[in-house]
A and B are shown apart, each in its own frame.
Chain A
């Protein structure tokens, strides 16, 4: 329990720093901004209480906000994503495939499951974030393209990170 707490706290710190110091400076042609910090919400254990999921999502969003001068934007998007997580899991999993004590990882859940899981939630997060950022429906296609391209980039980064770091 304590070691889990330590593990997820350090994961939170590393992902926030990675986001604000490195990834926030990445930009291709004004379109693509990867937001990899959402990986934290994806990797929380299945048995995480749902209210805790929301609070943690809100917290990591707010941390990223503080560093990028965007109060509320990431907080709202990450909370939205945390809200969708339980529904997404029950949508894409068969009843008996979720076992307690197994964390949602690419290794444990298989590539197909993890891909669907990541794609749905990251897309939801990015759409929410980019539309909140422009705060209007004008330039709808521009914003949509930005969200889609950034989603692809973020998902690729997340999958790569699964092969590189979180081997366990």
Chain B
């Protein structure tokens, strides 16, 4: 017993080092399993309020660009509105079947990264504003991320630039669907997988969300095809997508709330029992 204690004492430096590494590795591995250590992410109060303060300063420098984007979006919405008004005059809208599945909540991004393999966003709205885990985040130019952690005033989650997250996507012109993922290299490009060879593709084809995932409604912009090729021996195309959102300048976003998500999941669980 005594020699064991002596051995431990003589090598205490090594053992302390190993103990600290074990603690770190435990954190890393738990994190990999998506079992977040709730306390150790940027939606916790102290770090979130520091980020909020810096964002309040830097937001001023982005105002001009932001305004332009918002004005563009306004214009788009106004055209849509006009079309609807015209349609209303002629009574061709069936008001009994209005789609109210999705609700949108505006918010600001207060922390964001693009330079890691697993990038995350923090947002200045939380549980008190009606935010729940599994809500989608969309920006003025399309899909941005997903909420996974929520505190009273803040929430955070992976952005599209996160190797652990895939989005169900489809090609707008022919509705073939696959999954969009990011390979961890360039923040402007992502990959579309699982599109079979017989599908006709062209550079510049628009990629939108499929609406199959219950997180995003159908038709939210993801990007356009930048390049694609056909490796012999593979069953699917390799498609490179130029993302529509610029993740370096993301600031104003909307959170998508699917009011029927529970209902849809309940139904889909029945299929999993097979």
Contact = CB atoms under 8 A, between A and B. Distances in A.
Interface residues of B, number: 36
Contacts of B25: 72, 76
Interface string A54-81: 1100100110011111111101100110
A23 to B, nearest CB: 10
A69 B44 contact: no
A88 interface: no
Contact of A51 (B16, B40, B50): B16
Interface residues of A, number: 33
A61 B17 CA distance: 14
Contacts of A116: none
Contacts of A80: 17, 21
Contact of A71 (B41, B54, B186): B41
B32 interface: yes
Nearest to B119: A69
Contacts of A69: 41-42, 113, 118, 120, 156
Interface string A138-150: 0000000000000
Contacts of A30: 115, 185-187
Interface of A: 21, 24-27, 30, 33, 50-51, 54-55, 58, 61-62, 65-73, 75-76, 79-80, 83, 86, 132-135
Query: Which 6 residue pairs spanning A and B have beta carbons closest together?
Result: A72-B27, A76-B24, A27-B115, A72-B28, A71-B27, A72-B24
Given A58-B20, A76-B25, A134-B184, 7 more contacts: A30-B187, A33-B115, A54-B16, A71-B31, A72-B24, A72-B25, A83-B17
